[in-house]
Structures are given as C-alpha cells and as structure tokens.
Chains A and B, each alone.
Chain A
Amino acid sequence: MKIFVFPEVYQGEVKEISFEILGLAQEIKEKTGGDLHVLLAGKGVKEFVPQFGLADKVLLLDNEKLEGVSPFIYQNILFQVLKDRAPELILFGHTSIGMDLAGFVALKLNFPMVAFCKNVKAENGHLMATSLICGGKILADVKIKDNKGVCLVLPGSYPAEKGKVEGTKEVEELSLSEIEEKIKFERFIIPEVEDIDITKENILVAVGRGIQNQENLEVAEELAQVLGGALAASRPVVDQGWLPLTRVVGRSGKSVKPKLYLSLGISGAPEHVEGMKDAGLIIAINTDPNAPIFQTAHYGVVGDIFDIVPALVEEIKARK
C-alpha cells in the first residue's frame, strides 16, 4: 500500500500527532507491504528530516514562505505533490490543521474520506477504519471502498513512541511554485504565560460543564489544594470565562500526562480525551452513566460531584 503521511510541523517543532500517524502508517505497511512517504513542508524544517526514520521517502519542501501553515498554500502543495504519485492511503491528524487540508485533498483526488478515526487498518484485503462519532457516544466500523482513502486520525489514538524512529532513507527536495496568497499567515498569538503550566503538574483536578457555575469551582479548588495539584478544565468551562484558556485540556488546549487526573463533571468527548488519555491514573465522576469519559478512565463513579468531592476532601485530609 502506498501511504502518505502529513506531519504537523510549526512553531519550531514536529507535533506529537505526526508520530502517532507515522506509527499507524508503519503498522499498516508491515501488513500490506508498500511504501511510506512523508511530506515535510514548512520553514526551516530540513533539520527535522532525521526524525522520520520510518519514511521510505521524505518529500522535503523547506521555504521561507511556509511559516504559518496557511491552509490555502498547503492545500495546493499537497495536491501538486499527490496528484501524480498514485497514493492509496493518506493520513492526517484530526486536528485544526488536518481539518483544513484533508477534505480538499479527498475531493480533488476523488478519494473517500473518513474522519474521527480511532484506528485504520488493512483487514482481509480491505482498508477499514473505526471512528468515534456523536460526541464520543457512537463507534462506527467503516469499510473504505476500493482501498483508497484519506483518513483523519484523532490525536491520542496510537502511541507516538512507535512513530519515533531516527534515520533518513531517501529525501526528495521539492520547490515551491507560485501560489496566490489568498490566505496570508500574519503571526501566532501565544497566550500570556502568567498562569501555571498544567503540563508540568503531577496532579490535575479537571472540571467540566457539570461544575455548573463559576462559584462551584471552589469545590474543585479545595480538592486540588488538598492533593497538591492544580485546576484544569474542558473547553466549555473556559468558553464561559470561568477559567483561563491556559487551563484547557484537549484539542484546543494542552495535552497532559499527570500522575493523577481527576475529572469532575466532564462528559469525555473526543476533543477532550485526546488531551488526557495518557495520564497515570484517571478517576472520573459524572452523573451520566453513559458518559464517554468512562471508557478512558481507570475508575469511574456515577454520582454527584457536589456530594462526593467534599467527602473526598475530608477523607484525604484525614489520611495525610
């Protein structure tokens, strides 16, 4: 199978998702035989080539104009690169960047597309994907007809470690043709880091919509304090302005790997789970027995956080 992987490289690094999909691609290639090609495009990305040891070939496009991943330019680059190379499977991360590119590529090449993939594999001569849809509540096993497809893979679906192999096999340098700048990258806006860095905390107490209002944060704060940890949140809590954006765990926030992740009133939609599923110990409390978070947690409680958390605070105080 001829597999193409699109890694995400910006702000001076190769993002984790790139290695996850590389590892996944490698697994498929080991089963089907074939080639694994990587398109490495950006500004100053030449130095990252050795990180793609799994690639049979790295298509390198290092150009000043490619600093900010302008979707318009990248769509065009991808199409130019792929249209004559007869790819069969093209993998993107289901991320802010992947979602700007995959759909374009799929339509232009007339390839089927599958999003929300937790897994992509070759089975009995067919390309199959398993996707997590409807806010994490439904799984679908999908057959990709004609074994040609574009897949958006959810971050956190595959261990990044398996994709991290150093080395360089073949490199083909590409040049950037003139493309109109219909979407011009201006700059990155980085949040002020006055706040703590939740990725450095060992213990996180995360709150979701179940916390109901800003004042109830006290309940979670007390728990965080007594455990020596910090508060984190799912996206909706931050949208309401109850906590700063720097505390968000998930697709629009940070990926965290604390020793302990206590999730309070978080349903566990894929966008959130992708940011915390590698935590050492995950304990989730939610009133909804069908909350998707219970698939990822190690321990789950169906109950009211306002009854359980104060009791837990007391228990912990008693044991210290």
Chain B
Amino acid sequence: MGQAEVQPQDLYEVFQERAYAMVDGEKIRQCLQCGTCSASCPFGEGMDYNTRKMIAAMRGGDFDEILSGHGIWLCTSCYTCTVRCPAKIPLTDIMIPVLRETAMLYEKGVPSELQKALENVARYGNPFGESPRKRINWVKETGVPVKILQKDKKPVNVLLIPECFCAYHQRAKNIIISLAKILHKLNVDFGIIGPDEKCIGDSKRLAGEFGLFEMLIEHNAKQLKKYNFDIIVTPDPHAYNALINEYPKFGYRYKVLHHTQYLSQRLADLEALFQNEFPYKVTYHDPCYLGRRNKVFDAPREILKSINGLKLIEMPRTKEDALCCGGGGGGVWLDSFSKEYIKERPAEKRVKEAVATGAEVLAVACPIDITMFEDAVKVLNLEGKIRVMDISEILLEAIGG
C-alpha cells in the first residue's frame, strides 16, 4: 500500500488535510500556546506530549514523535480542554482522534488492549468479544416483560438502548435492569432492539476509528429504521452524545433522552411510587458526556432531591468542572496502560473527593463511571465507606423493587 515510503513530514500533511477538512478543524492553527488545556487535563502530568506540546511539536517539525509516543493514548476525551480553550480548538473531537487515526493508519502502534476492543467491536458489535446473542442476557434478570423488537415488531413509545456496558458488563448491567423495572412500574410502553443492536460507537470515534464509527452508524441507522418508536432513552451518556450530536451529521436524527432526563420528566409519577426513604448523604458526579459536553446538569439533581431522606452534597469540582473517571474515549481499556504514566488515577482522586464531602453514596449516571469508581473504591480500600450507585439504582431503592 506504499505507506512504508511516506516521510514524517508527509504524515503531518496527512494529518492536516484530514483534520482541517472537519468542521472547525482549522482552529488548531489558532493555538496561543496558553497551556490552559494541558493544565486542565486529568492525564496531562503523565503525557510525553500533552495537548499544548502536541501543537508545539507539530509546528516545530516533530510530528512523527507525537505519533510514536504514549500521550495521545492517555486522553480519555473528558472535554475539559475543549470547553476551556480560549481559541475554541476542537481538541477532543478532532485533534486527538485524528492523531490517533494517523498513528493507526501508518502503523505507529496502538496499545494492544485497545486494539482488541476495537477488533471485537468490528466483529461482534461489542468491545468485550462476547457473542451478539448474549446482548439480551440481562433481560431475563429483570423479572419484568421487556419487548424485544427484532423478535416481535410492534410499535413502542420508548426505545431503550442499553449500549454495550449495560448489556454485557457484570456490574453495569444492574443499571439497565433497574431502569427496566422502573419503566415497568411506570407502565411505560418500551422495548429494545435485541441482538442486532451494535455498539453506538462514540468511544470508537474518539479513539480515532472513524471508519469503524461510520460502519456502526450505517448498521444502527438501518436497524432503527425498521422499528416504530417515539423516543430513544439510554442510560449511556456516550450513546446519548453520539445519537444527538454525531448521527445527525450523517442524516440520522432521533429524539433522544438520557434516562435521567426522561425520569425527571416523569418525576410526579415516580414520586407517587416512592415507598422508602433513602436516608444517606449523596454526592453526584456529572458524567463528562452528559454534563460538560451536553450541559445536562439539572435533571439528575432534580431526581435526587425529590427522594425523601436524601441529602445532596456537591463536590468542589462540580458540573462543568467535574473530574473525569478516566474511562471515556477508550480509556476504560487502557487503565493498566495509563497506570504506567501517572501516580494516581483520576477515578481514585474523584472517589477521595467524594469521601471528603462526607458523602456515603457517590451517585453516577453512566455505566463506565460505575465500573471505574467501584474499582477505585476497592483500590483505596474504601469498601463499606462509600457506595457507588447509578441514579436508577437509587430510584429503585426508593421505590422498593
């Protein structure tokens, strides 16, 4: 294919052509080298090239070095740099993913755990390498009827998209199970697609696999077209993000709500179902792609405040300033990879921050948050001191079910 003959300068040209062709990609040129991005980055201290240095290196003719380094693989797409950049450079959506893409296309190496996850998604539709048939295994654990549309094609009001983590992960599946039970108690007419559903793909896009992302969009859009539904509800902020921000770029528009948004709209009905108190101090962690990226801060808090006995405390780094759990953008697979470069993982920092508020429960609204934070709790030996729970799990406890 000839890439062995491409010179380093050529790779920079390749990168520029690709990045600048994307909307706002050219803003990379406007970098002031102020360093706000790298100072805000949860992994900045561990990167050989942090975001500011990446741009400096590009300008200085060291492009190739960036690609062979580890900095580009430490980014967990938390969006903090993008939100704070005074030049409005699309660092998270364009610069890092295109650097990663260039590294992969020109065989500069991709960490092997991430490679495996990507290969699994391409082949099995999920990063775990599990059979697609097992995507609906969680359903029988709910104990309530869940319509599987590809088996029985009837119209529904709500199409529930669990996404891969909720469908397959041992701990995260409790989120979708709780949500299904709640929807059942609310008499919501809902269903899931079934095993034909594949990864929505947001993290694959952020990991630089645009080709894979497009393949997933084509597949999922085709699936969605088959069925009749009013809205999509998902407990996964990355799926939410892709469906409202990325799929429309390809012409696919849907009405999508994160489960906290949907449930906060149904608060009156939920309150009628409350049977138990939830007498704990709770602090809420804003998931990067619900809060910072998509500005959904209030819905989750409204739900928590409505529960009797629940005392809501804010952490110092709250809302737009929330500290990433370290699992996004492929980060959940690169956990041990990143440990080589930083002393303390962001998830551990965040759990310590939660504990410092006096909270007994760390509430989350993202399946990756739940796995990252529970790991951190174990590592820090804080089991029994603080529980990590999704909002749907807290709600279910209040409802009693």
Contact = CB atoms under 8 A, between A and B. Distances in A.
Contacts of A287: 170
Interface residues of B, number: 8
A310 B374 CA distance: 14
B378 A214 contact: no
B336 A215 contact: yes
A141 to B, nearest CB: 28
Interface in A43-73: none
B335 A213 contact: yes
Most chain-B CB neighbours within 10 Å: which of A213, A214, A304, A310? A213
A240 interface: yes
A215 B337 CA distance: 8
Interface of B is mostly: helix
Interface of A is mostly: loop
A181 B338 CA distance: 50
Contacts, number: 14
A225 interface: no
Contact of A215 (B170, B335, B378): B335
Interface string B319-350: 00000000000000001110100000000000
B388 to A, nearest CB: 15
A287 B113 CA distance: 19
B170 A213 contact: no
A216 interface: yes
A240 to B, nearest CB: 7
Interface in A269-320: 287, 304, 310
B335 to A, nearest CB: 7
Given A214-B336, A215-B336, A310-B378, A304 B113 contact: no
B336 A216 contact: yes
Contacts of B170: 287, 304
Contacts of A240: 112
Interface in A21-60: none
B339 A215 contact: yes
A213 B113 contact: yes
14 contacts: A212-B113, A213-B113, A213-B335, A213-B336, A213-B337, A214-B336, A215-B335, A215-B336, A215-B339, A216-B336, A240-B112, A287-B170, A304-B170, A310-B378
Q: Enumerate the 6 nearest inter-chain pairs by beta-carbon distance, A residue then B residue, closest first.
A: A215-B336, A213-B336, A215-B339, A214-B336, A213-B113, A304-B170
